[in-house]
Structure 1
Amino acid sequence: MNAVPRFSLGRLFATPGAIQALTSSDIQTALSRHLQGDWGELTSEDIEANNDALQDGSRLLSAYSGENGIRFWVITEWDRSVTTVLLPSEY
């Protein structure tokens, strides 16, 4: 059973580095988790900031690791118009 999305992802983008380093399964799983408020590998402070952002409309950031161990981020902009998958080095 799928959980109810907690916000809109808007338009989806992935950077060239993320496309090269990650599998489509890595990206799809991360987007699903992000959409459901599973922020991945963040500190408790960052998790709290995301939970607050659901109420106040700030940017959302999640961090995950791909099957190959490469760490990557998913960022949804404050207005929920765009979500980007990227490597930290591409920020």
Structure 2
Amino acid sequence: MDTLFVINAVFKTGQIVATRGVYDLTCQNPDFAKFVQKSLNRHVKGDWGEVDVEDKQTNDQALKQGTRLLSAYNDDRFPKNGVATIWIITEADRSATTILFPDEY
């Protein structure tokens, strides 16, 4: 997996890490790696993906209050155990951002 990077982030990401499941699939599938990179770029710009309205509002507040951020991104080309979703979570203290499958939480 190539190094993930962010451009014009609206908050600090801290160290960017991926779970073993996400990491392994990015190594095996270049298209999935591109999807992860695009999703990360959306996350750091405040585009929370496919979360509901309440979660979007919670994230918008979290930007101001310094609490945890959670985004969800779907791509039906990459089902894993029937799920085509990744989550991206940035910790409240902005020390780390983790990319994971929901079942790895």
2: distance between equivalents of 1:21 and 1:43?
Answer: 26
Among the aligned pairs, what percent are the same residue? 44
1: distance between equivalents of 2:34 and 2:8?
Answer: 20
The question of 1:58 aligning with 2:72 is answered no
Q: How does 1:1-91 map to 2 (within 5 A)?
A: 4-22=8-26, 23-66=32-75, 67-69=77-79, 70-91=84-105
1: distance between equivalents of 2:70 and 2:25?
Answer: 19
2: distance between equivalents of 1:16 and 1:61?
Answer: 19
Count of aligned residue pairs for this structure pair: 89
* Relative contact order, higher structure (CA 8 A, sep 6+): 1
- 1:45-76 CA-to-partner distances (Å, cap 9, x unmatched) read 00000000000010000000134251010000
Cα RMSD, aligned residues only: 1.5
Unaligned runs of 5+ in 2: 1-6, 27-31
Unaligned runs of 5+ in 1: none
2: distance between equivalents of 1:26 and 1:51?
Answer: 23
TM-score, with normalisation over the residues of structure 2? 0.78
Q: Give, as a single letter, the amino acid of the residue that structure 2 aligns with 1:71.
A: T
Q: 1:75 to 1:50 in 2, by over 3 A?
A: same
